[in-house]
Structure 1
Amino acid sequence: KTTTARMCARILRAAGHTVGLSSTAGIWINDVALDEGDYAGPGGARMILRHREASAAVLETARGGLLRRGLGVEQADAALITNIAADHLGDFGSRTLNELLEIKWIISRAVRRGGVLVLNADDPLLVEKAKEHEGRIAWFSLDPEQCTAEFRPEHGWLIRDADGTRQRLCRIDDIPLTLNGAARHNIANALAAAAVCWQLGAGPEAIAAGLTNMQQDDNPGRGNLYQIDGVSVFVDFAHNPHAMAAIAQLTAALPAKRRLLAFAQAGDRTDELLRESARGGWALKPERVIISELANYARGRERGEVYGILREELTRCGVPAADILHTETETEALELALQWAQPGDLLIMLVLGEAEAVRGRLAEVAG
C-alpha cells in the first residue's frame, strides 16, 4: 500500500497538485514531512484534509486503523484495494482471509454513491466480492490478456484500454521502481496508481512523469538496491508470505554467485504464518540465513520463540543448521552479512524495524 500511495502522490504532483500524503511512514505535504510514524488511519486523514495547502489527498488506510477507528472519510473520488493477502491473520478481527477482505472492503463505502473503486483483477477474492458493489469499478491486472482490465501491461508498456481506445501511458523499463521490469509487484503498483490518478484527472503525461521520475530514494525501504564493492544489497519491507513470494520472483532475476537472506518476524503472527514465512525465505534460495530477534516486536512471545519456529522450518526445508545465524538487531545482521559477502554476492535484507538505520549504514558504506 505504501509504495502505491507514494506513486499516486508523485503522479498528482506531476499533474500540478499540492499533495498531502498520510501513510504508515508519516505525513507529507509534497516533500515536506510534517511528522513521522504510522498515520495510516483517521488521524493522518484529518491532518491532511485540514491542511490549507493540500489540493489533493492520498490517504493510506491500514487494517488496524479500520478496525479500531473506522474510515477516515465519508466520501472519496477514488478508493483502491491492492490485494487480499495473508497478513496479520490471527489478529483481532482478521482470523481468515475472508474476514480480512471484509475489513478492507470498508473503504468501498467512500465511493459507493460516487467516485470509482479500483481493484486488482488478479485477486479472486476481490473479483468475487466486486459483484456486490453498486458503484463504478476500474480494474487493473498484470495479465496482458486480461481484456476486462482497464489498466494492464502490453508489449512493455502500461496501457489504458477503455471506451474503445487503447492508450499507452508509460514504458515499464522507464519506471525505476520496476528494476527494468524485474519487480513485477511494482508494475502492479504502478498500474494501480495510474488507475487511481486517472480517476482524479491525471492524464498520460502526468502518469508517465510521476512514475518515471520516482527513484528508489523516494520509496525508502521498498525494493531498494545498493552496490557496494561488487556486492548487491537488496532492501525491502516484505514481511508476509505474499510479499516474500514477490521478492523471490524479483531477486531470481538478479545475478548472484551466492545469496544471503536476513529477515525477522513479529511475534503477533501465528505459528503457521511464521512457518510459511520461513518457507518463503527458503524460496529465495539462500546459502546463508540470518534471523534477527527484534525484542520490540516480540508482542507477547518469549525471547527466541519466533527465531526457534523460523529456524526449525528452515532446517526442515533443507537449510543446514550451521548456516542459520541469530542476531539481536537488524543492523547487526547487516554487519554480519557484509563481513560474509564477496564480490558477485546478493544480500537480501528484509527489514522490519530498523529500516532507517540499515539504509543509513548502506549509504555510508556505499559512499
Structure 2
Amino acid sequence: MGSQEVSTVDWQGKHVTVAGLGVSGIPAARALHERGAIVTVVNDGDDERARAQAAELEALGITVRLGDGATLPPSTELVVTAPGWQPDKPLFLAAAEAGVDIWGDVELAWRLRGTNGREAAPWLAVTGTNGKTTTVRMLASILEAAGLRTAAVGNIGVSLLDAVLGEQEYDVLAVELSSYQLHWAPSLRAHSAAVLNLAPDHLDWHGSMEAYAADKGRVYEGNTVACVYNAADPATEQLVREADVEEGCRAIGFTLGTPGPSQLGVVDGILVDRAFVTNRQKQAQELAEVSDVNPPAPHNIANALAAAALARAFGVEPAAVRDGLRAFRPDAHRIEHVADIGEVAYVDDSKATNTHATEASLAAYDSIVWIAGGLAKGATFDELVTGAAKRLRGVVLMGADRALIREALTRHAPEVPVVDLDRTDTGAMSEAVEHAARLARPGDTVLLAPACASMDMFTNYNKRGEAFADAVRAHAEKSA
C-alpha cells in the first residue's frame, strides 16, 4: 500500500477479537463496533476497573470476556491487540495456527485513516530506544510554527485512533511508535521516518536484539521521501539499507559534527542542513542555533536535528524550524533543571530508566554527583561507568539493584566516593539529595539519572522525579 492510499475493509459482520482493555483496546473495540464488526474483547485481568470498562462496552452490544485472554474466540477473522501483549501469548499462537491476521492499534489506525470522510493526513514517524517523545514533540512544535495543523500522537499518550477518526482535521501527524507497536503494524507506510538510536531494551518481549532492531526498522518500510538515521549509530543506517522504500526516497543522516551531503549537523554552534538544499555538495542552510534547543545537551541536540530533518522532508521552511525549537518545552523529568543552590545545579532526569538514556544524560555535564539505582531489568553497568568515570565527583546509590552499579564503580572508578543507601522506602530520596549536596562543589551538577526502572520504590518515573524535586526544594529551604 502506498503512503497516500487509503485501505478499504468491509467491516460489516466481520468477527474481530480485541486483545486487551485499556487506552488502545477500548477505542479499537468502539471503532470496529461502529463500523458493523462483531467484536469480542478478551482481557487477562478481572478487577473492578476492568469490570467497569467491560460494562460500558457491553452496553453497546460488544462481548467482553474477562480473566481469559488466552483462548481465541470461535469464528475470529482478525485479532487487534494492545501493543504490550507479547507475541508468544497462546491467543496469538492460536491465531497464527488458524491463519488469522494480528494487527496492533497502529495498524488499525493506519487502515481506518481517511474512512470518516476526511482526507488522510500523512505520518512523520519516530522510533528509537531513547528520545522518541522529545523528538516527536519537537517535530510537532516545528510543524505548528510552519502553520500546519498537526498533533503529537501514538505512543505519546494521544490515541492514534482518536487522531485519525476524530473531528479535527490535520495536515500531517507527528507519530511516536514503540517497537511493540511496529511489530504489529505490517502495512504502515510513513511519509518519512526516523530511528534515533538502538540499544538493548525490551529483549524479554522481542526475544533478541536482532528481533528488536528488525521491529524498529519496520518504520522505514515504504517511506516515500526520507529515512532519517543517526550517523553516530551505524545500526540505524543499516536498517535504512535493508528497508524496502518507495523509489526516490532518500537516506538522511544527522550528526553532532559537521554534516556531509544529505546530512544535518552542527557547525560553530549552528544547526545546519546539507540535505534539503539545492546544491548539497556545496551549500548548507542555517536552521537554528544550539542555544535555541532546550536543554542544549548533546543528545537533545541530536533529537532536534532528527525532528528538523523530518520537518524539512515535509517541506518546512528553515525559519519554522528555528521558531518551533525555540517554542518547545521539554516534558517533566527529562533533564529538567530543578534549582541552583550554592552554585550547584540540581537536574531531574528520572526518565533515564536504562543505561543508554543515562549515558546521554551523564555526557551533558562536566562534573557530576550522580544519584542512581532502582530496578536494573537485567542491565549491566560496566560500560556506562567506564564512559562517565572522569565526570563523576561522587555517586549516591539507592534502590533494589544498586549493588550492580556499586560493583561497576568499584571496578572502573574506585577513586570516586560512593554513598550506598541501604533503604528502598520513598523517603530515601531526601537522604540521597542531602548526601549529594555534601559531595557537590560549586560548578557541579547533582543529577538524578537512575539508569534503572522506578517500581521498586515509586509508582513510576514521574513520582521518582517529583520526590527528587521535593527533596531539592526542602534542601534549598534549609540552605537559605
Distance 1:327 1:282 in 2: 25
* Separation in structure 1 between the aligned mates of residue 166 and residue 186 of structure 2, nearest angstrom: 15
- Matched residues in 1 for 2:179 and 2:426: separation? 26
Q: Which residue identity does 1:312 align to in structure 2?
A: E
CA distance in 2, matches of 1:327, 1:146: 48
CA spacing shift, 1:87–1:283, aligned 2, 3 Å: farther
Judge conservation of contact 1:14–1:206 (CA < 8 Å) in 2: yes
Residue of structure 2 equivalent to 1:101? 213
Superposed displacement of residue 169, structure 1: 0.8
User: Contact conserved, 2:220 with 2:240, CA < 8 A, in 1?
Assistant: no
Are 2:229 and 1:119 aligned? Answer: yes
Higher alpha-carbon Rg? 2
1:322-347 CA-to-partner distances (Å, cap 9, x unmatched) read 62224425663254314651573521
Question: Would the aligned equivalents of 2:228 and 2:252 in 1 still touch at CA under 8 Å?
Answer: yes
Aligned-partner SS, 1:176 = coil
Preserved contact between residue 244 and residue 281 of structure 1 (Cα < 8 Å):
no
Paired residues of 2:271 and 2:286 also in contact (CA < 8 A)? yes
Question: What is the rounded CA distance, in whole Å, between the counterparts of 2:192 and 2:250 in structure 1?
Answer: 10
Distance 1:22 1:274, change over 3 A: farther
Which residue of the other structure, out of 229, 243, 266, is the alignment partner of 2:341? 229
The question of 1:170 aligning with 2:292 is answered no
Distance (Å, rounded) in 1 between the aligned partners of 2:410 and 2:334: 28
Q: What is the aligned partner in structure 2 of residue 22 from structure 1?
A: 153
Distance 1:11 1:338, change over 3 A: farther
1:123: how far off? 1.8
How many residue pairs get aligned? The number is 320
With over 3 angstroms needed to count, the CA separation of the structure-2 counterparts of 1:123 and 1:359, relative to structure 1, is closer
Separation in 1, partners of 2:410, 2:318: 49
Stretches of structure 1 that go unaligned for 5 or more consecutive residues are: 28-43, 294-305
Is the CA contact (8 Å cut-off) linking 1:235 and 1:348 kept in structure 2?
A: yes
The CA distance in 1 between the partners of 2:320 and 2:355, in whole Å, is: 33
Distance 1:73 1:238, change over 3 A: farther
Partners in 2 of 1:280 and 1:15 — Cα distance? 39
Q: CA 1:155–1:61 in 2, change beyond 3 Å: closer, same or farther?
A: same
Change in Cα spacing, 1:329 to 1:196, as seen in structure 2 (3 Å) is farther
- The question of whether the paired residues in 2 share the 8 Å contact of 1:157 and 1:169 is answered with yes
Question: Aligned pair 1:263/2:407, yes or no?
Answer: no
- Is 1:76 matched with 2:182? no
Q: When the two structures are superposed, what TM-score results if normalisation uses the length of structure 1?
A: 0.76
State the distance in 1 between where 2:376 and 2:221 align: 32
The structure, 1 or 2, with the larger RCO (C-alpha pairs under 8 Å, 6+ apart) is: 1
For the residues of structure 1 that align with 2:399 and 2:229, how far apart are their CA atoms? 35
Q: Please tell me whether residue 201 in structure 1 is matched to residue 315 in structure 2.
A: yes
More helix by share: 1
State the match for 1:2 in structure 2.
133
Paired position in structure 1 for 2:42: none
**Correspondence for 1:314:** 409
- Please give the secondary structure, in 2, of the residue aligned with 1:92: helix
Partner of 2:304: 190
**1:129: Cα distance to partner?**
3.5
CA-based RMSD of the aligned residues comes to 3.0
CA distance in 2, matches of 1:184, 1:222: 13
Using the size of structure 2 for normalisation, the TM-score is: 0.59
CA-to-aligned-CA distance 1:29-56 (integer Å, 9 cap, x gap)? xxxxxxxxxxxxxxx3223222322513
Percent identity over the alignment is 23
